[in-house]
């Protein structure tokens, strides 16, 4: 998928429908580059908390790329106050992970996303999701 196709998909458009003009405003300073993998992670994928971050790890033996998301959280998180406003919900975010594939072996790579919560008592896994497969040439 090209970067332009990803922008259209992020805008909620399925091909062959025309891409809306506002889609070009997604990641405006980014241009398509060779040997680059673009992965969009929605707000439900990225771990929330303080000091959030992510990194990517490539395992040539298993031809797998894992995007690790992490954040620090306290031991107790009180429930958020109830919002009775009809239709109110947190705004969705879309993070774009840009990964250089030049050092990856050619072939099919399986892309995973896993979340971690860092706590004083030790790290906790917050889930693992197979995002799909991509051909690296």
Quote the domain boundaries for residue 133: 33-75+91-137
Radius of gyration of the chain (CA): 18
Between CA 108 and CA 105 the distance in angstroms is: 9
Examine the domain organization and report whether 96 and 63 are in the same domain. Answer: yes
Q: Give dist(CA 85, CA 41) in Å, integer.
A: 27
Q: Answer yes or no: do 24 and 39 share one domain.
A: no
Establish if 86 belongs to a structural domain: no
Query: Residue 47's pLDDT is what?
Result: 53
Tell whether 18 is covered by a domain.
yes
84, part of any domain: no
Mark whether 57 and 123 lie in a shared domain: yes
52 & 15 share domain: no
* Cα–Cα distance measured from residue 123 to residue 126, given in angstroms and rounded to the nearest whole number: 9
9 and 27 fall within a common domain: yes
6 and 68 housed in the same domain: no
- Into how many domains does the chain fold? 2
Q: How many CB atoms lie within 10 A of CB 53?
A: 13
pLDDT tens, N- to C-terminus, the chain (137 residues): 788 888 888 888 877 788 888 888 888 888 999 999 998 887 655 556 677 888 999 999 999 999 998 888 777 778 877 777 777 766 677 788 899 999 999 999 999 999 888 888 888 888 889 999 999 98
Q: Is residue 44 part of a domain?
A: yes
Q: What is the pLDDT of residue 43?
A: 63
pTM: 0.76
Is the domain of 46 the same as that of 109? yes
Domain match, 95 and 133 both: yes
**The predicted structure's pLDDT at residue 44:** 57
How many residues comprise the chain? 137
């Amino acid at each position: 998928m090209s970067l332009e196709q990803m922008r259209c998909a992020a805008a909620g458009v399925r091909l062959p429908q025309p891409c809306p003009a506002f889609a070009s405003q997604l990641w405006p300073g980014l241009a398509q580059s060779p040997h680059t993998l673009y992965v969009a992670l929605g707000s439900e994928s990225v771990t929330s908390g303080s000091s959030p971050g992510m990194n990517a790890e490539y395992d040539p033996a298993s031809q797998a790329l894992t995007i690790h998301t992490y954040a620090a959280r306290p031991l107790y998180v009180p429930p958020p106050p109830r919002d009775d406003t009809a239709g109110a919900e947190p705004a969705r975010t879309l993070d774009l992970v840009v990964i250089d594939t030049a050092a990856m072996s050619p072939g099919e790579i399986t892309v995973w996303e896993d979340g971690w919560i860092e706590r004083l008592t030790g790290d906790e896994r917050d889930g693992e999701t197979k995002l799909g497969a991509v051909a690296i040439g």
